[in-house]
Structure 1
Amino acid sequence: MPSMTTELMKTAAQENLGAHIEKELEKEALKGLINPLQVWITSASALACYNLIPILTSGEVFGPHMEISINLFDNKQAEEKLTSLVKEAQDLASPFLQSVSACTQAEEAFRQAHVIIFLDDHVDKEVYSLEDCIRSKATLCHLYGSLIEKNAHDSVRIIVGGKTFVNLKTSLLMRYAPNFAHNIIAVALGVEGKAKAALARKLKTTPSRIKDVIIWGNISGNNYVDLRKAKVYRYESAVWGPPHYSRPVLSLIFDSDWVNREFVESLKKFTATGRQFGGILAAHSIATTLKYWYHGSPPGEIVSLGVLSEGQFGIPEGIVFSMPVKFENGTWVVLTDLEDIEISEQIMTRMTSDLIQEKLVALGELINFQPYQSETDLAKEDEKTTLPTTNDNREHCKVSDGHT
């Protein structure tokens, strides 16, 4: 085979170089479209944000090839704290953090935001009625919704976390930012984590080995912790199996009184006050939900998530309700094909009544909020399958996120 002439070699080299440069330019152009990811955090002076920043900048949430810019949004009174937080975030010297900045001007909020994380808004003074507290959420969400519509990127993903009126705020944001309603979700993993930890202590195992605990209803209020699908893996007992082998949680807890009293009461207290919902748990719940949203949830696992109801499981349409889902392909799918998880009409009414009333009060269509009162002791309705917790959210009007 005759050797390639010098001129031909030069020509081929130039063509290869040109193709390589063109490919690199295309890669850089594509990178410019998605990098850095603009992440906005509201009420950023809250303790949850302090714990959230190191997780977001670790590369675990958005992936090792994604740089992010963090924008900390809060009111003018928090400016000094935000400045300090910016410096601490910069000190991390994270290769995934391109920039971090503070914003106290509402009109600038959420500019080109790809991700918006809503933490609990501050309570600067005690609100004297539950109704005033609820109506204040509508005012705030109306402001935030208009800013999202005006400033956010077309592909923005919005996640609502915290311990105060989570479902209500998610619903109101959907109303006031209608173009992005399909991409707004509420975090329920905090309650799920508390339930798993309590079960793990009882079973003398680790919380990460407990899967498929379902949180139904109002994440920060009248919810229902369902153990009918709950499993424990690698449980040390006479029956042992490979890593994928699991056993039903309810078959291993023989103390039904504990399940229906102590367990229920501990979760009821948690959702009623939120006092144990510290910055670490809030940050981890938000970050894990975001990670699942971007990269998918573990195959085969049930995840609890607050989403807009379309009538699944007999839930009234148009309210944000925590239900079982899985994340895949950058979105979530409600697991309507699960067997034997029907919810009685009485329990459904108990869970939905407060959510519907909260929304009506927030919108000025109802003057007084009346917490739902059951005529029977729901804790005794089914001792082995479902576990109720209840709360009227009054405590949430008296405490702020991470500032007490």
Structure 2
Amino acid sequence: MTTDRCLIVIAGILEDCTFNHICFIAKNLSTILPNFHYRSISKSSAKWDCWLKETCDLYKWTHTKSPLIWREIGLSRTHVNYIGGSFQFWELLHKYYNISLYLNKEELDALQADVLLAHNIESQRSKLLQIQEKYCLIMIIGAGRSMCLDLVPQLLMTKELWLSRGIVINLYDEPGCFFKLKRIFKDARTTGAGLNTVNIVENIPDGLKNCDILIYLDSLVREEYEGTDNWLQRNYKTIANLCTQINEYAPSHMKVIFCSRCLPCFYANIMLELVTKLSSTNIVVASAHYGLELIYTFVSSLGLTQQNFGCPPVWGFLGISHFVDVHHMIQKCDVYYPNKRALNLNENMILPLGIQHSELRWFFYMAHDKYPYKNHFKRKALLRYQMGRSEDLPKCRAICDLLKLWYSKKESIGDEIISLGIASDGSFGIPKGLVFSQPVYLKECDDGLRIWVPFKDFPMPNMPLSIFQSLIDTAIYIKKKITEFKNCFDATNFQLK
């Protein structure tokens, strides 16, 4: 850098199209010409007059309107030369760079609209970054569920979610569940060494403001003798109301994880239909817990341990039907390859007789003639009888493992394949846009965002194709109900108006 470095400063009102035009030209010139440097100062129309007066008084200038342009010369930028307004700037460009530019009114208006849009996006992004740098804000709806007692401490101890001020978890449930939330609140105070906090919110909008992650555990179970349509309609109303609140109060970067006991894929499809504020890739359904629940009893029945097994893939429209494919579960095996030295075995031999390495295998060779569900259902019934509820740890682990991968601070993401309910892209014969549990992996986009996409190379589930198609057809049928309910409620609201 030389001591005669020249910096052109362009100041003006953000809503001034001439100011934005000059900034646009200066920005492009700075990328083309190595010695052209500029800095822009934008002010709102309300603050411009006051700022302009202070600047002119400081440098003894006389200037009355936007834009104001000057030069700062030298490393310390103490030598300041007044250039003037837009006319003087165009003269400078023509004199030194032989550049003459003209835009008609339509082109100026289009440029102005683009600049204002970019400014608004950048302002929102900077606000979000300021929020995110402080703490990770999580909201749990349905926090009165039994699994929340285990889930909250595990979330607080998930380091991938920690930011400069830790984690804040907002709990919400219906008023009748307040005593359960109070217990969670009390237990959580002993976790996190002051970096984390747990709050109870009185309404959903308060929890959605600045929320980073929404975990939905609530569900409306089917009542005795209740018809399917009526049950689906009750659940639709609940999620539709939540969608309205998300569109109004939630930030656009919020991620939604459904892990409800009933109809989580149905909920996610409703949200994809009604929520306009969130990207479809931000709405997922945890499904790995179905595999985690099954793997223990199945592997134990074969005299093996879980240590070297991956979670089996889970397929289906969760809450209605699903299939755990134990045949395509991954097993890590240690394989020993003897060398030629092993053929001439000598008792005094010290050198190794072979090489041991690990390889991954499908578990089909052990599971092809086994029925994995028998012992699983027995164990599940026994747990429900003894504890009065289903096992919650697999669900907690599924959610936390998902978040660990999604929010990993590693520069390069791994190659983990997990089961997750996401909006399909047409892979595996699943219609595009249908939320369906399937094998997925985490993909990093060019803009740095991480999204879950189907792992297309994964084998199809080990079941007759006709049965798998019936799972898809059932999901399609139920998804059509969303459109019916939406049209029905839209018509009802129109009549009320």
Common topology (TM > 0.5): yes
**Does the CA contact (< 8 Å) of 2:205 and 2:245 recur in 1?**
yes
* 2:330 paired residue among 225, 231, 250: 231
Count matched residues: 332
Counterpart check, 1:114 vs 2:227: no
Counterpart check, 1:62 vs 2:161: yes
Which one has a bigger Cα radius of gyration? Answer: 2
Secondary structure at 1:46's aligned position in 2? Answer: coil
- Farther off after superposition, 100-109 or 32-41: 100-109
Counterpart check, 1:213 vs 2:312: yes
Alignment of 1:3-402 (within 5 A): 32-63=131-162, 67-97=166-196, 99-121=197-219, 123=221, 128-180=226-278, 181-211=280-310, 213-234=312-333, 242=356, 244-253=358-367, 256=369, 258-259=370-371, 262=374, 277-295=390-408, 299-329=414-444, 330-338=450-458, 345-364=465-484
Query: Structure 1: how far apart are the matches of 2:462 and 2:375?
Result: 22
Query: Structure 2: how far apart are the matches of 1:267 and 1:171?
Result: 32
* Aligned-partner residue type, residue 308 of structure 1: A
Q: How big is the shift at 1:192?
A: 1.6
**Does the CA contact (< 8 Å) of 2:141 and 2:171 recur in 1?**
yes
Query: Structure 2: how far apart are the matches of 1:192 and 1:317?
Result: 24
Q: 1:313 to 1:340 in 2, by over 3 A?
A: closer
* Aligned-partner residue type, residue 183 of structure 2: S
Query: Structure 2: how far apart are the matches of 1:300 and 1:168?
Result: 29
Q: 1:204 to 1:108 in 2, by over 3 A?
A: same
Secondary structure at 1:210's aligned position in 2? Answer: coil
TM-score by length of 1: 0.71
- Cα deviation code 1:31-77 (max 9, x no counterpart): 65432111000011111111101101113452576611110011222
Q: 1:340 to 1:110 in 2, by over 3 A?
A: closer
Please report the RMSD computed on the Cα atoms of aligned residues, expressed in angstroms: 3.6
Query: Structure 1: how far apart are the matches of 2:250 and 2:157?
Result: 24
Q: 1:346 to 1:49 in 2, by over 3 A?
A: same
**Does the CA contact (< 8 Å) of 2:139 and 2:208 recur in 1?**
yes
* Aligned-partner residue type, residue 288 of structure 1: D
* Aligned-partner residue type, residue 270 of structure 2: L
Secondary structure at 1:128's aligned position in 2? Answer: coil
- Farther off after superposition, 279-288 or 68-77: 279-288
Secondary structure at 2:211's aligned position in 1? Answer: coil
**Does the CA contact (< 8 Å) of 1:75 and 1:105 recur in 2?**
no
- Cα deviation code 1:124-172 (max 9, x no counterpart): 9657223222111110111111111111122111100132111111111
**Does the CA contact (< 8 Å) of 2:220 and 2:234 recur in 1?**
no
Q: How big is the shift at 1:343?
A: 7.6
Structure 1: any 5+ residue segments left out of the alignment? 1-28, 367-404
Higher RCO, 1 vs 2 (CA within 8 Å, ≥6 residues apart): 1
Query: Structure 2: how far apart are the matches of 1:86 and 1:35?
Result: 21
Secondary structure at 2:484's aligned position in 1? Answer: coil
Q: 1:355 to 1:276 in 2, by over 3 A?
A: farther
Q: 1:208 to 1:243 in 2, by over 3 A?
A: farther
Query: Structure 2: how far apart are the matches of 1:311 and 1:362?
Result: 20
Q: 1:199 to 1:264 in 2, by over 3 A?
A: closer
TM-score by length of 2: 0.59
Query: Structure 1: how far apart are the matches of 2:242 and 2:148?
Result: 18
Structure 2: any 5+ residue segments left out of the alignment? 1-127, 339-353, 383-387, 445-449, 487-497
- Cα deviation code 1:95-128 (max 9, x no counterpart): 441x321113244341111100000335596572
Q: How big is the shift at 1:174?
A: 1.5
